[in-house]
Structures are given as C-alpha cells and as structure tokens.
Amino acid sequence: MRRTAGKILAVAVLLVGGPAFAQSGASGPAATPASETDEGPTGKESTVGYIDSALPRNTFRLRFDAAYDFERPTRAEFFCARTINPGVPRPETRVDYQDLIGYLEVLAAPRLSLFVEGPYRFLNPQVNANTSGFNDMNTGFKWAFVDTPAWTTTFQLRTYIPTGAASHGLGTHHVSLEPALLVNHCLSEKFRLEGELRYWVPIGGTNFAGDIIRYGLGASYGRRNPDGFWAAPVVEFVGWTVLSGKESVSLSPTLFAVQSAAGDTIVNVKAGLRFGFGTWTDFYAGYGRALTGATWYTDTFRVEFRLLF
C-alpha cells in the first residue's frame, strides 16, 4: 500500500508542480507569450536521437533500433516480464533484439500534443527460441508549459500498454506510467542543449517489477537549412537508476540466481548525426555504448526517418 501511494504521489507532484514552474519560468524580461498558431513552439529545433524531444509538434517517425549483449532482460520488468510465469519458459543468459517503431504525434493545441507509438520486435535469445511480434505500445501527451525564445520546458506523460506477448519475451505483462520533464535550451542559433528526467512506474506486474528513474542530457550543433542540405552532430548521455524490483542473474549456462535490482545505475553515451535537405524531413543515425559495469545492452545502433507536417 505504501509503495502504491508513493507512486501516485510522485505522479501528482509532477502534474501539480508543472504549472507552478511555468509561472516562475514565465516571469522576467526574457519571457514571451507562446505562439498562438497551431505550430507548437516556433523557431526552435530538436536534433537529439535518444532523449525525448521537448517540442510538441506534428511528427511522423519511423525508427529502427538494434541492441546487443543484453544480459539481464528481466531487471525490474523494464524490458520483459519475469521468466516462466508470465515470461519466457527458461531463464536467459543474454538477448539481442531489433525494433521497428512507428510514432505519430499530432498537435491538439499550440503547446499541447498527443502521441502514440507502436514497436515491432525481433528477439534473438541465447536459451529460448528466436521470435518476433508486436512489443508493448505506448501513448500519451506533451504540454509545453514554458515557451520562451530560449527555453521550452515540457511535461510529458506516457502510458505503456501490455500489447506484447510476455510468454515470448515481447512484453512486460503490466501497464506502466512514465511522467517526464523535458527541456530544450537554445544557447545560440546553432548550439542547443536538450534534457529529460523520466520516472517509470509499473502498475501491477510481478515481484520483479520496480520503479526506475531515467535522465539524460544532449548537446548538438547545427541548424536546419530550408533551401538545402544541413547536418547537426549530436552527443547524448543517458542514465537509468533502478529504485526497486528484482532481476535474474546468470551464474552459469544452467545456474541462475534472483537478486534485488535496487541501486543498479546504468549510463550510456550516444553519438550520432541528424541531417536532412530542406524543412520537412530529416534522418538520424547514431551509436550507443555502455559506460558502466551495469548495463541494459553493451552496444546499440539507431537509424530513423522523421517527417514534420
């Protein structure tokens, strides 16, 4: 009961704290009213590839991810459900996977957008059989409660829906909520910082399910050229800290142990390039590498196509 109350309180703090921050952020000579058009925050760009963008806008995105050497896939039931019931029939020593992810975001108001994301996963375990199918989808909204020429600060809420087959390793078998605070800061016409603070909260699940904080900071240099080719290199640092839950640990190919996942901290560096020709479309290609002993995966690759409309 105390754990459930704590989760609800955390979500409420972010929901209620947003307007208060908006009021404080909107004061002072640098603040300007948000655009009254239906284009969302205007005159700004988002070039990150792994951090969630703070800019609400009409967007279609098609993304391909590949990740390798995932040694503890049941950690906190963030990637997949606990082994056997409701998860895969045998404990896993390692998995690789590839995701094809479609994303659609539509403005509902000048600073408010709604989005839905649906992934299809190709899973390559070491012990269990290879499989493929739809993974857990998610949907939610973004609200840019601070929108000045230099800053956009956005509250985002994602709801993860267990549409993947947990018994095949394709889903977590529980609903999850993820409130987030997203930031976009323009230091100059070409140099920008983007950041995120996200809190992943499983609703239900087994005794493996746990709360996770995700945080990230990215820097990019470049500017969209409406009349020709442009490119913006991006460097991002993304981290996760597991607050509760359990994980299955492989001691040998046939021997496994269950231990607490609380305190596991994972940090990755992501380097990539966003590029395009003109205003409406762009591409991203990037590579990520684990920097800590604790990992989700050792290496990850991402390519995506993005259409703004």
State the pLDDT at residue 246.
97
- Amino acid (one-letter) located at 102: G
Q: Are strands 229-242 and 212-221 parallel, antiparallel or unpaired?
A: antiparallel
> Is 60 exceeded by the pLDDT of residue 3?
no
> Is 80 exceeded by the pLDDT of residue 39?
no
Tens of pLDDT along 139-155? 999 999 999 999 999 99
State the pLDDT at residue 28.
33
> Is 90 exceeded by the pLDDT of residue 29?
no
State the pLDDT at residue 23.
41
Report residue 156's pLDDT band, with 50, 70 and 90 as the boundaries. Answer: very high
Mean pLDDT of 34-62: 79
Of 28 and 208, more confident: 208
Contacts of 172 (CB under 8 A, 6+ apart): 77, 78, 79, 80, 81, 136, 160, 162, 164, 166, 202, 205, 209
Tens of pLDDT along 235-275? 999 999 999 999 999 887 778 999 999 999 999 999 999 99
Q: Domains in the chain and their CATH numbers? A: 2-28+56-308 (2.40.160.40)
Q: What percent of the chain has pLDDT over 70?
A: 86
Mean pLDDT of 15-19: 42
Q: What percent of the chain has pLDDT over 90?
A: 83
Backbone angles phi, psi at 303, to 5 degrees: -135, 145
